[in-house]
């Protein structure tokens, strides 16, 4: 029996990278995992297959975030897949990973990154409230960029600061129901999103590793293990916090 047996978890953006690692870890702890994907159905199917090979239970559903009505559509698809199941764990992981600096960022790009990284989690949670069991868990995947000055990705960093503020207020609002709400803030993680500039350039890899006090680039599993802790009963007395998952970057 895993510590999340009989729990149902929704992980947005769960087909690749951090989301995939989170989905696999929660399923490994016994949860039934519903993971969403925006475009890459093959990657989502592969994630589900891997979870099932490991003895877990998972479903994938397509849910492209960033448009009005996206949260309502996501939960309608969730209900269709699960048969109107209740949910115990909600991980808001889907997001746009980078943005331009202030001198070149367009209004359209600004709107898009805020729509996916801020508006979507807000309304995904809003529509989750009637389905979310008391004593449940909400975990928002933020970024270490929210606490460091990185003007080259200023809009992205701003979305993660907004997400942390959302976490703080939501924890207060949902505390009477025994629901904890926390952010996890990764640093530079070795994912497909970062492959173009990180894996392809040994010097960039070395610089990224040097940012961490632990002297290496993070893995998706490093983040997933922290999410799994926050999803468990072991974290029942932690709420409204931003948990650093950068390996001590920028100390």
Q: What is the DSSP code (8-state) at residue 82?
A: H
Q: Two tokens at 222?
A: 């490093």
Neighbours of 94 (CB within 10 A): 26
Q: Give the residue from 178, 183, 184 showing the smallest Cα distance to 233.
A: 178
Count the residues in the chain: 251
69 Cβ neighbours under 8 A, 6+ residues apart:
none
37 carries an active-site annotation: no
Measure the CA–CA gap between 115 and 112, rounded to whole angstroms.
5
Q: Two tokens at 161?
A: 């600061």
**Out of 114, 156, 166, 205, which one is annotated catalytic?**
156
Catalytic residues: 156
């Amino acid at each position: 029996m895993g510590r999340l047996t009989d729990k149902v978890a929704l992980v947005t953006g769960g087909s690749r990278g951090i989301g995939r690692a989170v989905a696999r870890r929660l399923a490994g702890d016994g949860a039934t995992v519903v993971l969403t994907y925006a475009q890459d159905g093959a990657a989502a199917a592969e994630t589900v297959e891997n979870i099932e090979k490991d003895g877990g239970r998972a479903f994938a559903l397509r849910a492209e975030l960033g448009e009005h009505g996206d949260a309502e559509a996501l939960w309608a698809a969730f209900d269709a897949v699960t048969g109107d199941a209740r949910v115990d764990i909600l991980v808001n992981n889907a997001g746009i990973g980078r943005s331009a600096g202030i001198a070149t960022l367009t209004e359209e790009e600004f709107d898009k990154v805020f729509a996916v990284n801020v508006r979507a989690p807000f309304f995904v949670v809003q529509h989750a409230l009637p389905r979310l069991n008391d004593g449940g868990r909400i975990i928002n995947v933020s970024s270490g960029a929210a606490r460091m000055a990185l003007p080259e990705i200023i809009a992205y960093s701003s979305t993660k600061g907004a997400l942390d503020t959302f976490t703080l207020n939501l924890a207060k609002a949902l505390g009477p129901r025994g629901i904890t709400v926390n952010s996890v803030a990764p640093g530079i993680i070795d994912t497909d999103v970062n492959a173009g500039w990180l894996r392809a350039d040994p010097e960039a890899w070395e610089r990224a590793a040097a940012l961490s006090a632990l002297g290496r680039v993070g893995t998706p599993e490093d983040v997933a293990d922290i999410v799994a802790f926050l999803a468990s009963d072991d974290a029942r007395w932690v709420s409204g916090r931003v948990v650093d998952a950068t390996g001590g970057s920028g100390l």
